Amino acid sequence: MNGQNVTSDPSRFNRRVAALVDATADYAAYNSTRRYASGEADLDVGSEFPRVYSWAQCTPDLTPAQCRVCLAGIIKGMPRSADRVGAKFLGVRCSYRYEIYTYLRGPVMVRLAAPAPEPAVGPTAPTPATLARRGEPTGKWGNKTVVVLAITLPLVVAILAITAVCLCYSRKRRTRRASSEQPAYSANSEDIANIDSLIADLSTLRRATDNFAAANKLGEGGFGAVYKGNFPDGREIAVKRLSRSSAQGIGELKNELILVAKLQHKNLVRLVGVCVQEHEKLLAYEYMPNKSVDTILFDPERSKELDWRKRLKIISGIARGLQYLHEDSQLRIIHRDLKASNVLLDSDYTPKISDFGLARLFGVDQTREVTNRVVGTYGYMAPEYAVRGQFSVKSDVFSFGVLMLEVVTGRRSSCSWNFDESVNLLSLVWEHWTMGTTAEIIDSSLRGHAPRNQVVKLFHIGLLCVQDNPADRPTMSTVNFMLSSNTVSLRSPSKPSFLMCMSPTSSESTGMPGMASPNEVSITELEPR
């Protein structure tokens, strides 16, 4: 809250702020598909502050009615009695703020002109009743006027009061009905048009993949198998055939696909087609000729293609794509299965994250901090997620840190069942970090070709990302800043926990793995958008 107080006519200032905040909240809820609005209001000429600015926002998955109810709840608690010139409230599903200075970029959506000056209190003409009380003559119409006013005024007031009560009751009923009956996400006509343009016919995708022939199978993950295909116009595609465990109906799936289709970023794989027919649920993506990072990184021969410049490009691109999902997209997406096989490379080795948003398609509640259904790959999972099912954006940061160390060392962070190969990647990196010998564990093809200061910096950032406590891990925007800056000072990392496996399968599990060193953490940060 802004500590500065209003000193001249605070009650008038507070009424003006209340009007602006309410108008901004109405616009955000009912006039913006992004559930966002900014506003400004002129104050009185010659007043202490010439203008006040406001901002209101809800998460886009809320319906207009749900958004307005959420904003009304936090606005009701606005501490106007403190006469502050600025305040903000950041909630999980909705937020608002007002200040006497401009703090937003872009066009203002709501403008309130300066209010008309309040009329001065002066002498008024005597009424007939007054004249009567003074004993002055009122004329033959005077008594009639008094009688008419005495009868009609109470009647009008009563009618207006009853009408107001009925309107308020009706509005509350509509709001409650909309909040309880409407789905969590309501697609507008523009959204439907966008997703309809992606609809692909099942027969087309069957022909494109030769009826999902084994020869065209590129791989299989926790959400289903992936097949290479060709559209009739010659475009190469990768078709993900979602497994039957996705139990959502067509309507629900379509709403989720709208959200996924809206995610557009250079470092995300682009969705080019969707098919929901005959119990098949298929997603068609742009085809990446260099396939996934793991097919090159862990191949003794092909790994030589990845020189130091390409590896830096891969790490930076993944970090930017993840920041977009966490912080810059309309709806925050927690990937929950970031790994080398879920990062694809185009012909220029530009990394593109795949499988983002698929946890939503499988009915995983992204708004909860704890889940009984752990979706991910051991070796990449954050300790709090693998052991207790607790997740947040910091769980993805942990996975990114593991992936980053894999790219630098060329070693898998996998669950080995060979006793002689059971050295965990994180324990290996930590051991060499403490001894100052990290140069010994970089990929052999990089030795003598990678600047030592950059190598040490990447190991340092990677270890910060895999800290035990989620609060000690940086956000992805901070990671991107650290990667791009040559002068930033990095704090010292502490020893990470080393996860052990329970079964040789990965991708999706409902069991909880054991740990070599227990990690007692709880997630306290679930950042609002």
- 130 inside domain: no
Beta strands in 103-250 (DSSP E): 110-112, 217-221, 224-230, 236-242
- How far is the C-alpha of 462 from the C-alpha of 493, rounded, in Å? 9
Residues 498 and 387 in one domain: yes
Residues 414 and 364 in one domain: yes
- 265 inside domain: yes
Residues 274 and 309 in one domain: no
286, 310, 341 - which closes a domain: 286
Q: How many independent structural domains does the chain possess?
A: 3
Query: Is the torsion defined by CA of 490, 465, 498, 379 positive or negative?
Result: negative
Residues 248 and 307 in one domain: no
Q: What is the pLDDT of residues 382-434, one digit of tens each?
A: 888 877 888 889 999 999 999 999 999 999 986 543 434 445 899 999 999 99
Residue 91: which CATH number? 3.30.430.20
- 224 inside domain: yes
The pairing of beta strand 351-353 with beta strand 94-99: unpaired
Beta bridge partners, 84, equal 5
Residues 275 and 300 in one domain: no
- 463 inside domain: yes
Residues 323 and 377 in one domain: yes
Q: Name residues whose C-beta falls within 8 Å of residue 494's C-beta, 6 or more positions apart in sequence.
A: 467, 468, 472
- How far is the C-alpha of 93 from the C-alpha of 109, rounded, in Å? 21
pLDDT tens digits, the chain, 529 residues: what are they? 555 666 566 777 888 888 889 999 999 988 888 888 999 888 765 566 778 889 898 887 788 888 888 888 888 766 554 566 778 777 767 888 888 887 776 778 888 877 666 555 455 555 554 444 444 454 444 555 555 555 666 777 777 777 777 676 666 555 444 433 333 344 444 444 455 667 788 899 999 999 999 999 988 766 778 999 998 888 899 998 887 655 445 555 565 566 677 788 999 998 888 887 877 888 889 999 999 999 999 999 999 999 999 999 999 999 999 999 999 887 788 888 899 999 999 999 999 998 876 655 444 444 445 554 555 677 888 888 877 888 889 999 999 999 999 999 999 986 543 434 445 899 999 999 999 999 999 999 999 899 999 999 999 999 999 999 999 999 999 999 999 998 889 999 999 876 444 433 334 333 333 333 322 222 223 333 4
Residues 205 and 306 in one domain: no
Q: Considering only CA atoms, which of 296, 317, 314, 315 is closest in space to residue 305? A: 296
pLDDT of residue 148: 56
Domain that holds residue 353: 293-509
Residues 257 and 375 in one domain: no
Residues 108 and 208 in one domain: no
pLDDT of residue 295: 93
* 291 annotated to a ligand binding site: no
The single residue of 26, 61, 337, 396 carrying the catalytic annotation is: 337
* Surface-to-core class of residue 41, CB atoms within 10 Å of its CB (0-12 exposed, 13-18 middle, 19+ buried): buried
Residues 242 and 314 in one domain: no
Q: Which DSSP category does 234 fall into?
A: S
- How far is the C-alpha of 426 from the C-alpha of 382, rounded, in Å? 12
263, 286, 309 - which closes a domain: 286
For this structure, is 9 an active site residue? no
- 123 inside domain: no
CB 503, CB 511: distance < 8 Å: yes
Residues 345 and 458 in one domain: yes
Residues 254 and 301 in one domain: no
- 143 inside domain: no
pTM over 0.85: no
Where do we find the tokens 């003559």? 137
55, 87, 112 - which closes a domain: 112
| Number of Cβ atoms within 10 Å of the Cβ of 222 | 21
Torsion of CA 141, 147, 152, 154, to 10 degrees: 140
Q: What is the token pair recorded at 453?
A: 């200061």
Residue 383: which CATH number? 1.10.510.10
- 185 inside domain: no
- How far is the C-alpha of 340 from the C-alpha of 63, rounded, in Å? 37
- 129 inside domain: no
**Quick one: which H or E segment has residue 153?**
helix 142-181
